[in-house]
Amino acid sequence: MITWSDLTLPPINLWNLPRQIKMATEEGNTDLATQHEEMMRDKAITIIRSKASAIDTTNPTGLCWTCGDYIGHARRWCDADCRDNVNET
């Protein structure tokens, strides 16, 4: 289980981050909203990579877990893009 102590973002109130994105967007500050969204996405990628041992690593089908291409039994994803996009699909 991932806890807030696992997160290593720069000092920012993570509880208010979605609200900060909404407020920045409403104020017309799309650069700030985009920056906050990128921080959330980067943190999700970091968590995926750091918690890989908590994921079932067996791949009996030999297919990429994201795109479905055949890759063999030793791997879960065909490349880094598929691995990073696992939460977006």
Tell me the C-alpha distance between 39 and 7, whole Å: 11
Counted residue by residue, the chain has a size of: 89
What is the pTM (predicted TM-score) of this model? 0.34
pLDDT, one tens digit per residue, over 32-42 is 777 877 888 88
* Exposure class string for 54-70: b at 16+ Cβ within 10 A, else e: eeeeebeeebbbbeeee
Give the pLDDT of the chain (89 residues) as one tens digit per residue. Answer: 445 554 444 455 555 666 766 777 777 777 777 787 788 888 877 777 776 555 566 677 888 878 888 887 677 778 878 877 765 54
